[in-house]
Amino acid sequence: MAFAAFATAEAQAEAPKRRSRIALFLLLPGILYLILFFLTPLISLLLTSLQAPAEFGDIGVYDYAFNWQNYVDVVQQYLPHIARSFGYALAATVFALLFSYPLAYFIGVKARRWPLLQSLMLVLVIAPFFISFLLRTLAWKQLLSDESFIITSLKALSLMAPDAHFTGTPFAVIFGLTYNFIPFMTLPLYTTLERLDTRYLEAGSDLYAGPFAVFRKITIPLSMPGIVAGTLLTFIPAAGDYVNASRDFLGGPDTQMMGNVIEANFLVLLNYPAAAALSIILMAAILVLVGIYVKRSGTEDLL
Amino acid sequence: MSVREFAERGADLQLVGIQKRFPGFTAIEELDLTIPAGSFFALLGPSGCGKTTTLRLVAGLEEPTRGRILIGGTDVTDTKSHERPVNTVFQSYALFPHMTVIENVAFGLKRRRIGDALGKAHEALRLVELDHLAQRRPQQLSGGQQQRVALARAIVNRPALLLLDEPLGALDLKLRRQMQLELKTIQEEVGLTFLHVTHDQEEAMTMADTVAVMNKGAIEQMGAPAELYELPRTVFVANFLGQSNLFTGEVVDTTSTALTVDAGGTRIVVPTARAQRHRGTVAVGVRPEKVTLHTHEPAGSADRNVVGPGRVLDVSFSGVSTQYLVDLGALGTVLVFAQNVGFGPVAALGSEVWVSWEIMHGFGLDDVPGEAGRFPADDSTTSIAAQRRDSLVSELEEG
Amino acid sequence: MSGEVQAAAVLGGFSESEQQEDARGPVGAPRRRRLGLGDWLLPAYTIMAFVFLMIPIAYTFVFSFNDSIKSNISWRGFTFDNWLNVCNVEGGAVCEAFANSVIIGLVATVIATALGTAIAIALVRYRFRARSVISLLLFLPMATPEVVLGAGLAAQFLALGVPKDMTTIILAHTMFCISFVVVTVKARVSSLDPALEEAGRDLYGSPSQVFWRITFPLLTPGIIAAALLSFALSFDDFIITNFNSGSTSTFPKYIYISASRGIPAEANVVASAVFLFAIVLVVASQISRAARAKRLAKLD
């Protein structure tokens, strides 16, 4: 699946050297497409982020300039949103990992003897993909609203203050992000755990490692490629998400993330340079974080 | 026995009434076995005979359905794998790919919190002459080197009992010899109890002081290698451990010293002391290298069985010796190994020959071919194919 | 509800095989099996995890039968009306949005699959200098947050003065599907033995015959998987669509806009129908694959 893209390095065996004219013919249309609709948009995003308002124009009209002040402005204005984006995404990634690891372990290791059960459980993991992302988030909103059975029960049991809310809080946003990206975490974890050679676990046990030590010293390090792939696949979209945090979904006025302000600036306020500058910051921050993470987790020689 | 300290010396292993069933098949029917401390014991058998299951039961990687396991007199049946004073050299070596060689070797010591784990690990690596590769990853080593690391990783813990699961299977002949020697040396130096599981009869016979031949979840025969070879007790042992010429017939005469069998009209005599059954239909046999080939009918002798004439069906020259396959009519075929003391073969293909062997070299078995099932003395291509298929199927089941 | 049925089926299958194992257990006086914490804790957790994952799906399905008037928030009674009259509310806005999503998904899938498959074949079968640059170009769209992809394209369309409509949505969807197609098909191409193509050439096949009669049929499963994945990605995409759709409605966009005033039950009907269709398709293919594997095993 697509998730392997992150886990497997370009460890290609040397491809045979053949007529490169055919290769060019095969590559050119797709690559050209990506240059036109992925690469140049990023450049125009960069250019837009440096635009200045037109001198005699309406709202939403800008001229090309080198107005790097835009970056200073958006950072000053939206620092809490930037912090929230990465904070929420980090929390959701951790929760999704804690939720998915035992699940992926059961499907990939314990259920090996029953292949049909294994594939049916995988279907259940990706089943949320088959129903609209927005509708499942809205479903949680209804299920966790102040009048819902879950919340009224919690209040009746005094597990929640009578005047407390769940929707509209950071917890609700993190909850929604976690739920929505669980399949992205579980699938790559499953892929590595499914290939985990249990003979290593037996060898560990033979060498006086108790169940916990076997897990910590052998299972976790051997599943590191899956952990790295899963955390990246969860963290990146979570940091850029704006549906969960939106006021109409699980968020509130105090939970807005970078995605929300990018959307508002671009589509509502027509402040394109601000939206573009925020986008560039988001992308750059993610690339830097991912780079550091992959380096530090030392997964290169495991791959 | 605590795993926190080194075993002073090897401990003896006792298996009492062990049975192991898996869903769908029984791996071990009923197994009683005692392996004395300090011995090098080999469990020999074809794949699917239950030998690997036995090893896993001792290591604590499987639980017996019934029976007890005692190590050094202590009942360890309910002790988990990581709490047993036992280490295994796995067939696949199972070296942790995410650790260096030295980390692999020190792993067990660190888990047991034994002081100077790294120092002791380096010492163990020196013993297998791999200390210079301590910082490498297992994937960067050759098969033979990996095998030695696996060995070092096991013996560094000074287990009371060391289990070897076909550890030499993946090596080429030269490395095998080297490792066999190394294992023997280590055993003599350290004085551990070795339990070695293999399907290679040569490996078992050269290394072990006691060999137990296992078949279909039970031990068929146990003893010193030479004893097993010279006096097999069952058809399975006679055929699995080396090759045998077997003849089935009725006992026609029994004295205190000799037993006469009528096999298809030919009388064959074996010493009574070397026969398991003295009445009824019995199988008697002789090893091919004990049989002599004659181009002229030899003079009868009181201490030799003479059979013939027959016809040479096949001659294959293998340097040191020549193998002859002789058709003896009603008696079936006989295999003869003859040392090449002169030049060229003694008998040509298709020529008329007689065979003879000393009566004292014959043996009488407890069962007859066909009864034992798995390895009938039938070497037609279809039955060989059927055997191969059976063993492949059981191998698949075991894996 | 469908989710719970699924979960129950899984549980049923699971406990059944456990029982079989016990039934074949030893005769006589077996040793008592140690029942450790791990023996039941992990299966129990797995069951609970699946129940949790299915909750919103079950909710959506149940509320597609709600006898709602305007907002579909509280339960007002059971009815089939929503299913029978999907296209009769708000002048068929739900159905129009759904139809747009299907058209966009189909067109984007066809283009992305064609372009992506060609790249995948080139990457595995040919050697060229710009390899690492191209790999990076393919990897980046998957590592870029959707909001950045959406805003970037929108900025470009804005700068060029291109009006946003269904075409711009298709252009956007094709872009982010290509990388996923490449990754999926590439996995299949790598697993193909190049000797098969060599054998084809050896047996007098011209290059185009070899491609269409050998390579392409062998790649079909990978291409189908890639097409299904890219349709699913396109159909469910909201964030990129939102930036590049102008006034064109898609199914996710319709839900987003209606979210503030309440989603009509018909949206639940459409989503539930899509879900059931997809799940039946996937489960059926899994079961037929398992059955085929069993038949092959029996041939032995």
pLDDT value for B397: 60
Report the gap between the CA of B104 and the closest CA in chain A (Å). 10
Task: Note whether B194 and B164 are within 8 A (CB).
Answer: yes
Which residues in chain C have their CB less than 8 angstroms from residue B24's CB?
A: 24
Q: Please tell me the distance in Å from A215's CA to the nearest CA on chain B.
A: 13
Q: Which domain holds residue B293?
A: 232-386
Asked if residue B388 has pLDDT above 80, the reply is no
Between B26 and B132, the more confident residue is B132
Query: Do the domain assignments include residue A37?
Result: no
User: Which of C59-68, C99-108, C183-192, C273-282 has the highest average model confidence (pLDDT)?
Assistant: C99-108
Which pLDDT band, with edges at 50, 70 and 90, does A32 fall under?
very high
Which of C17, C20, C22, C31 should be substituted to probe chain B, the one whose Cβ sees the most B Cβ atoms within 10 Å?
A: C31
Residue B343 has pLDDT above 80, yes or no: no
3-state secondary structure of C15: helix
CATH number (domain holding residue B19): 3.40.50.300
One domain, residues B170 and B203: yes
pLDDT tops 90 at residue A99: yes
C262 CB within 8 Å of a chain A CB: no
Q: Which pLDDT value is given to residue B224?
A: 92
Check A208 against B3: CB less than 8 A apart: yes
Say yes or no for a CB contact (<8 Å) between A38 and C137: yes
Q: Which residue would you say has higher pLDDT here, C197 or B372?
A: C197
Q: Is the pLDDT of residue A236 over 50?
A: yes
List residues bridging with B326 in a β-sheet.
B312, B334
> Do both B241 and B380 map to the same domain?
yes
ipTM entry? 0.87
pLDDT(C222) > 90? no
Say yes or no: B35 and B129 in one domain: yes
Considering CB atoms only, which of B23, B24, B65 is closest to C31?
Answer: B65
Chain C residues 183-242 with a CB less than 8 Å from chain A: 183-184, 187, 190, 194, 229, 232, 236, 238-239, 242
Is pLDDT larger for residue A221 or for residue C89? Answer: A221
- pLDDT surpasses 80 at B43: yes
Closest Cα in chain A, distance from residue C117 (Å): 9
Task: Say what the pLDDT of residue B344 is.
Answer: 64
Q: Nearest-CA distance from B119 to chain A in Å?
A: 17
Q: How confident is the model at residue C5 (pLDDT cuts 50, 70, 90)?
A: very low
- Give me the CATH number covering residue B240: 2.40.50.140
CA distance B262 to A231: 79
- Same domain? B45 vs B134: yes
Could you tell me if B194 and B134 lie in one domain? yes
Contacts of A202 (CB under 8 A, 6+ apart): B59, B61, B81, B90, B94
Distance, C-alpha C65 to centroid of its chain: 25
Beta strand pairing call for A62-63 and B86-89: unpaired
For residues B200-214, average pLDDT: 87
In chain B, residues 17-46 whose CB comes closer than 8 Å to chain C? 19, 21, 23-24
| Residue A123 covered by a domain | yes
Query: Given a cut of 70, is residue B398 above it in pLDDT?
Result: no
Please tell me the distance in Å from B78's CA to the nearest CA on chain C.
9
Q: Are the beta carbons of C259 and A103 separated by less than 8 Å?
A: no
CB contact under 8 A, C31 and B77: yes
Reported confidence tier of residue B64, pLDDT bands at 50, 70, 90: very high
Residue A243 has pLDDT above 50, yes or no: yes
B65 touches chain C (CB under 8 A): yes
What tokens were used for B138? 């297992």
The rounded radius of gyration (Å) of the Cα atoms in chain B is 24
What confidence category does residue B299 fall into, taking pLDDT thresholds of 50, 70 and 90? confident
Domain for residue A6, yes or no? no
pLDDT at B40 over 80: yes
Do the chains contact at A207 and B59, CB–CB below 8 Å?
Answer: no
Nearest to B71 by CA among B162, B204, B155: B162
Most C-contacting residue of A34, A40, A178, A286 (CB-CB within 10 A), to test interface: A34
Option in B81, B97, B153 nearest A205 (CB): B81
Query: If you measure CA to CA, which chain B residue comes closest to A298?
Result: B98
Do residues A228 and A6 make contact, with C-beta atoms less than 8 angstroms apart? yes
Q: Is the pLDDT of residue C7 over 50?
A: no
A138 assigned to some structural domain: yes
Q: Answer whether the bond into residue B309 is a cis peptide, omega within 30°.
A: yes
Which comes out higher in pLDDT, residue C261 or C175?
A: C175
Output the six-digit token pair for B122: 């380096």
Put simply, whether B152 touches A (Cβ < 8 Å) is: no
Please say if the pLDDT value at position A205 is more than 50.
yes
DSSP 8-class letter at B397: H
Confidence of residue A6 (pLDDT cuts 50, 70, 90): very low
Rg, Å, chain C Cα set? 25
Q: Of residues A113 and A19, which shows the higher confidence score?
A: A113
**How many domains does chain B fold into?**
2
Find out whether A227 and A189 touch, Cβ atoms under 8 Å.
yes
Domain end (from B175, B204, B227): B227
Q: Give the mean pLDDT of chain A.
A: 86
Instruction: Identify the residue whose tokens are 């290698």.
Output: B225
B80 vs A224: CB contact, 8 Å cut-off?
Answer: no
Domain for residue B399, yes or no? no
**pLDDT score, position C21:** 32
Query: Cβ separation of A205 and B82 shorter than 8 Å?
Result: yes
B136 touches chain A (CB under 8 A): no
pLDDT digits (tens, 9 = 90+) for C159-211: 888 899 999 999 999 999 999 999 889 888 887 887 888 888 888 888 788 88
By the 8 A CB rule, do B168 and B203 touch? Answer: yes
Whether residue A45 is contained in a domain is answered as: no
Q: Is B98 on the interface with A (CB under 8 A)?
A: yes
Confidence of residue C100 (pLDDT cuts 50, 70, 90): very high
Residues B102 and B199 in one domain: yes
> How far is A295 from chain C, CA to nearest CA, in Å?
16
Min CA distance, A94 vs chain B (Å)?
Answer: 24
Residue A17 falls inside a structural domain: no
- In the prediction, which pLDDT does C23 show? 32
Q: Is C154 on the interface with A (CB under 8 A)?
A: yes
Q: Which residues of B touch C25 (CB under 8 A)?
A: 21, 65
User: Which residues, numbered 86 to 125 in chain C, qualify as contacts with chain A under a Cβ-Cβ cut-off of 8 Å?
Assistant: 115-116, 118-119, 121-125
Residue C255 with chain A: CB contacts under 8 Å: 132, 134-135, 138
For chain B, percent of residues with pLDDT exceeding 90: 35
Closest chain A CA to residue B103:
A217
Contact C246, C168 (CB under 8 A): yes
Q: Report the residue from B86, B94, B112 with minimal CB separation from A199.
A: B94
DSSP track, C201-237:
HHTT--HHHHIIIIIHHHHHHHHHHHHHHHHHHHHH-
**Residue ranges covered by each domain of chain C:** 99-263, 271-300
- Distance of alpha carbon C8 from alpha carbon A157, whole angstroms: 29
For residues B130 and B252, state if they share a domain: no
pLDDT at C18: 31
Q: What is the DSSP letter of C78?
A: B
Which residue in chain A is spatially nearest to B83 when comparing CA positions? A208
**Span C278-290, average pLDDT:** 86
Identify whether A159 is part of a domain.
yes
> Do B124 and B262 share a domain, yes or no?
no
Q: What are phi and psi of B19, to 5 degrees?
A: -130, 140
Q: What is the mean pLDDT of residues B311-326?
A: 88
Count contacts between A and C (CB, < 8 Å).
302
Nearest neighbour of B66 by CB, restricted to C20, C21, C28: C28
The whole-number pLDDT of residue C26 equals 36
Confidence of residue A8 (pLDDT cuts 50, 70, 90): very low
**Rounded-to-integer distance, Cα B33 and Cα B351, Å:** 50
> Which domain, by its residues, includes A140?
76-302
Q: CATH fold of C99-263, please?
A: MetI-like fold (1.10.3720)
Residues of A in contact with B107 (CB under 8 A): 204, 207, 209, 217
Are A134 and C3 within 8 A, CB to CB?
A: no
Count of domains observed in chain A: 1
Which of A155-169, A216-230, C15-29, C283-297 reaches the highest mean pLDDT?
A: A216-230
Q: pLDDT by residue (tens digit) across A65-93?
A: 778 888 998 999 999 999 999 999 999 99
The predicted model gives A222-244 an average pLDDT of: 92
Chain A positions touching B80 (Cβ under 8 A) are: 205, 210
Examine residue B393 and state whether it is found in any structural domain, yes or no.
no
d(CA A92, CA A171) in angstroms, rounded, equals: 10
Which of C26, C33, C34 minimises the CB distance to B19? Answer: C26
Residue A63 lies in a domain: no
B157 in reach of chain A (CB within 8 A): yes
Mutant choice from A113, A205, A208 vs B, greatest count of B C-beta within 10 A: A208
**For residue C277, what is the nearest residue in chain A, using CA coordinates?**
A130
* Chain C residues in contact with B65 (beta carbon < 8 A): 25-26, 30-31
| Helices within chain B (DSSP H only) | 51-59, 101-111, 117-127, 143-155, 173-190, 201-207, 225-230, 235-240, 381-398
Res. A9: pLDDT tops 50: no
Minimum CA–CA partner of A203 in chain B = B94
Residues B187, B310 within the same domain: no
Residues of A at the B interface, defined by Cβ within 8 angstroms:
197, 199-200, 202-210, 213-214, 217-218, 221-222, 224, 301-302
The DSSP 8-state label assigned to residue B48 in this structure reads T
B91 in the same domain as B32:
yes
- Do residues B279 and B213 both lie within one domain? no
Tell me the pLDDT of chain C averaged across its residues. Answer: 81
Contact C34 B63 (CB under 8 A): yes
Compute the average pLDDT of residues B290-309: 86
What is residue C35's predicted lDDT score, i.e. its pLDDT? 52
Are B238 and B200 members of one domain? no
CA distance C20 to chain A (A): 13
Chain A partners within 8 Å of C134 (Cβ): 27, 31
Which of B7 and B285 is assigned the larger pLDDT?
Answer: B285
Question: Per-residue confidence at A235, pLDDT binned at 50, 70, 90?
Answer: very high
Taking only the tens place, the pLDDT of each residue in C105-143 is 999 999 999 999 999 988 887 877 788 888 889 988 988
Q: What is the pLDDT of residue C67?
A: 81
Tell me how far apart the alpha carbons of residues A61 and B352 are, in angstroms, rounded to a whole number.
112
pLDDT of residue C20 exceeding 50 = no
Confidence of residue A260 (pLDDT cuts 50, 70, 90): very high
Domain holding A251: CATH number? 1.10.3720.10
The answer on pLDDT for A116 being more than 80 is yes
User: A161: distance to nearest CA of chain C, Å?
Assistant: 23
